[in-house]
Amino acid sequence: MKRIPLFLSILLMTVSCKSGTQTGENPFFSAWETPYGVPPFDRIAPEHFMPAFERAMSLHDAEIEAIVSNNDEPTFENVIVAYDKSGLALEQVGLVFGMLCEAESNEELRALQEQAMPLLAAHDDRIGMDERLFAKVKSVYDRRTEFGLDADAMRLLEKTYRDFVRSGALLDEERKARLKAINEELALNSVKFGANLLAENNNFALELTIDDLEGIPTTARELAREKARELGKSDRFVFTLHKPSLIPFLTYSKRRDLRERIYKAYLNRCSNGDQYDNRQLINDFVRLRAEKARLLGYPSYAAYVTADEMAGTPEAVYALLDEIWTPALKRAQGELAEMEALFKQDHPDGEFASWDWWYYAEKLRRKNYALDEEMLTPYFSLENVQSGVFFLANRLYGITFRPLAVPVYHPDVTAYEVLDADESHLGVLYFDYFPREGKSQGAWCGNYVEQRYDDNGERVAPVVSIVANFTRPTGNTPALLTLDETETLFHEFGHALHFLFHDVKYRGLSEVEGDFVELPSQVMENWAFEPEMLKFYAVHYRNDEPIPAYLVEKLRKSEFFNQGFVTTELIAAALSDMDIHSIGDYEPFDVGEFGRRALNEKRGLIPQIEPRYRYPYFSHIFDGGYSAGYYFYTWAEVLDKDAFEAFRESGDLFDRKVAARFRRLLSRGGSEDGMTLYRAFRGKNPDKTAMLVARGLMERPAPQADSLAVEPSPETNNE
């Protein structure tokens, strides 16, 4: 789903580490003598983090003081480069802390994060608003043409200056103090929001007997039985709100009343009027973010966010989303009409509801395509899908993966050394695949160690992790992935490649624009179900027989199936995110009513479709770094579908020359703005035609002249 940007890895702190570890000397106080510098998870304990943060912040303060107290004339080297090298110890603690945070939380660690969050936010603000430091940065920036800087150095200088301005460096003392208070409160609210959602995800359990399971496939039954045993209810079957449990139940259960019960529980998370209710927190987020935007000179938080992205303005975001919304909703209404015909056969006097969609969509797929996922999952074992992404990376880029024995933070975790085409060390990649109580929902990818260059000019290789919540193995049956889970692994693997291929000179140029982040991940999805790709990895887990041609053909014919629904719920979530962050003058509001007015009344969202996320559990935008940025997925989809066209046009989906150009795009990080990087790869502006065709929202047109789909914003290019 997403990679965790560096700054979020430090700021979003739901801590975790292996329970029962040895404590002893703090492992963050000395160099790690582990293979390839991976974290010594077997030595890290919760009590190590706060001393490590305090020490790292103190070291960072000393590094900043050395810069500001230097009496030499400010130069690119003694200010900008020195600043870029500072805070490495804090980054390292923060990366481990932030990456583990989503994987294995507990009460002790959540209490620790509430202590750490305000301190870290205050530390960041103290540096970002330091007048002495900013004066030196500004001095170098104002004389930037005098230093003979190369492109990377100039980019770093301009980005550093802009980041200080966006952090409040130009504010007077009174407004700086208020901004600091806002940032501390926002940081703590993120912790509370995430903790509430984790509790709600874990607290619901739908306990059933064998008589309640009509229609439920064997794999889902076995998962439910194992969950019941885990809870000490050996005579029951337990379904939860985690996707590997929820989605099969909604898709196959013939009990409409139970589908309604579990889906309403999912929809109403964190809005039940109890201690886990997030609605007041959402009001606080909106109030504080709107005030922050005004302090920094923007009319809304959405304007503040997009000014630093490829989109440039909220208007550009709305223009793209609105263009997709109308045909997607129209297609979804057509899908609904087909399903209602089936629904009326079962419930002549009933009204089709949102909890019916998955069940009747699956019925419709069987009717129209003679296809259901139960026919497909035996060909998509987790082992095979992982082998598939490894194969794809090797065919495109020549890289290979070797199992690696290193410390891990949970027994489920595995690790691989990644070798480049010349067999040199490229990085380390962890996989953490299965749900558990302390892990957040969804899937993500991030770093434990960020790529950089050390003082000797040697590349420090990244240590990357993919975390997911896939269907577990049951009994003697391996983990069999759904099509969605398969696509998710390809997606997160794309993020991992982005990290692994990074080769940037300066740490400050590591990150790309938010609406560029999803390009490397989403482009990988395009290969997942291509016939040429399937024959290399989709084999039956029992007999290694390749997926038969007739199933591949059924998959191909059904590629646009349910795309109206999928696109509508996605765009609905992006619009609701932009709407709530476009509030300029805050007044207390009813969270549920705001969403209904914005989507159902204003834009005509049909009640049978819910947005992908309601506000109270919209983790992406309230504790996941995508505030006013959920549109990133759609913006990047224009790029990823157009990028995949380059492989199609070459006549070879595994074309090494095209892949080499794309790898260069990945390796550059934020060394250039996203549109410049994309044009260098593609040779032209991206065209959104490929995206609309891929979603079944338009027919593939005849060849025509280049049409511009996403124009770079002047604000973005003048960074």
The string of pLDDT tens digits covering residues 456-481 is 999 999 999 999 999 999 989 999 99
Strand duo 414-419 + 206-208: pairing? unpaired
Strands (E), 97-198: none
Where is 243: in which H helix or E strand? helix 243-252
Residue 386: pLDDT over 80: yes
pLDDT digits (tens, 9 = 90+) for 311-334: 999 999 999 999 999 999 999 999
Q: Which candidate, 564, 521, 592, places its Cα nearest to that of 695?
A: 564
Q: Per residue in 603-648, pLDDT tens?
A: 999 999 999 999 999 999 999 889 999 999 999 999 999 999 999 9
709 vs 42: which has the higher pLDDT: 42
Out of 184, 373, 485, 492, which one is annotated catalytic?
A: 492
Write down the pLDDT at residue 105. 74
pLDDT exceeds cutoff 90 at 579: yes
Instruction: Tell me the pLDDT tens digit for each residue of 487-528.
Output: 999 999 999 999 999 999 999 999 999 999 999 999 999 999
Compute φ and ψ for 350, nearest 5 degrees.
-90, 170
C-beta atoms surrounding 29 within 10 Å: 12
Cα-only R_g, the chain: 25
How confident is the model over 403-434, as pLDDT tens digits?
999 999 999 999 999 999 999 999 999 999 99
Note every long-range contact of 386-395, with CB atoms under 8 Å and residues 24 or more positions apart, other chains counting. 386/431, 386/489, 387/537, 388/490, 388/528, 388/533, 388/536, 388/537, 388/538, 389/489, 389/490, 389/493, 389/524, 391/536, 391/537, 392/490, 392/524, 392/527, 392/533, 392/654, 393/493, 393/497, 395/654
pLDDT tens, residue by residue, 85-94 = 999 999 999 9
- The pLDDT-based confidence of 302 (bands split at 50, 70, 90) is very high
In 526-618, alpha helices (H): 531-537, 549-557, 563-581, 591-596, 602-603
**Does residue 40 surpass a pLDDT of 80?**
yes
User: Over the stretch 231-286, which tens digit does the pLDDT of each residue have?
Assistant: 999 999 999 999 999 999 999 999 999 999 999 999 999 999 999 999 999 999 99
Q: Is the pLDDT of residue 583 over 90?
A: yes
Task: Write out pLDDT tens, residues 597-610.
Answer: 999 999 999 999 99
The pLDDT of residue 702 is: 64
**pLDDT at 104 > cutoff 60:** yes
| Average pLDDT across the chain, whole number | 93
pLDDT at 391 over 80: yes
**Token code pair at residue 636:** 């990047």
Structure-token pair, residue 473: 């193995």
Query: What does the pLDDT read at residue 115?
Result: 85
pLDDT at residue 712, as a whole number: 40
The yes-or-no verdict on residue 4 having pLDDT over 50 is no
Confidence of residue 704 (pLDDT cuts 50, 70, 90): low
pLDDT at residue 206 above 60? yes
Question: Are 441 and 242 contacting, i.e. CB atoms less than 8 angstroms apart?
Answer: yes
* pLDDT band of 8, cuts 50, 70, 90: very low
Band of residue 3 on the pLDDT scale cut at 50, 70, 90: very low
Task: Determine the average pLDDT of the residues in 288-313.
Answer: 98
Residue appearing with tokens 């964190």: 270
How far apart CA 285 and CA 293 sit, in angstroms, is 12
Average pLDDT over residues 10-19: 33
Phi–psi pair at 354, nearest 5 degrees: -60, -30
**Higher pLDDT, residue 24 or 422:** 422
Question: Is a pLDDT exceeding 90 seen at residue 290?
Answer: yes
**Residue 717's pLDDT band (boundaries 50, 70, 90)?**
very low
Helix (H) or strand (E) holding 415: strand 414-419
Q: 18 pLDDT exceeds 70?
A: no
Whether the pLDDT of residue 99 is over 90: the answer is no
Would the pLDDT of 351 be above 90?
Answer: yes
* pLDDT score recorded for residue 708: 39
Paired sense of beta strands 452-453 and 459-460, if any: antiparallel
Does the annotation count 492 as an active-site position?
A: yes
**pTM, full prediction:** 0.92
DSSP string, 115-141: HHHHHHHHHHHHHHT-HHHHHHHHHHH
The residue among 361 and 702 whose pLDDT is bigger is 361
pLDDT band per the 50, 70, 90 thresholds, residue 24: low
pLDDT at residue 700, rounded to an integer: 74
Average pLDDT over residues 653-665: 98
pLDDT at 703: 59
Which domains, and CATH codes, for the chain?
Answer: 8-128+130-170 (1.10.1370.40), 204-268 (no CATH), 377-557 (1.10.1370.40)
Strand partners, 418: 401, 427
- Backbone φ, ψ for residue 431 (5° rounding): -125, 135
Q: What percent of the chain has pLDDT over 90?
A: 88
| Percentage above 70 pLDDT, the chain | 94
Instruction: Give the separation between CA 212 and CA 208, rounded to whole angstroms.
Output: 6
- 8 A C-beta contact, residue 3 and residue 446: yes
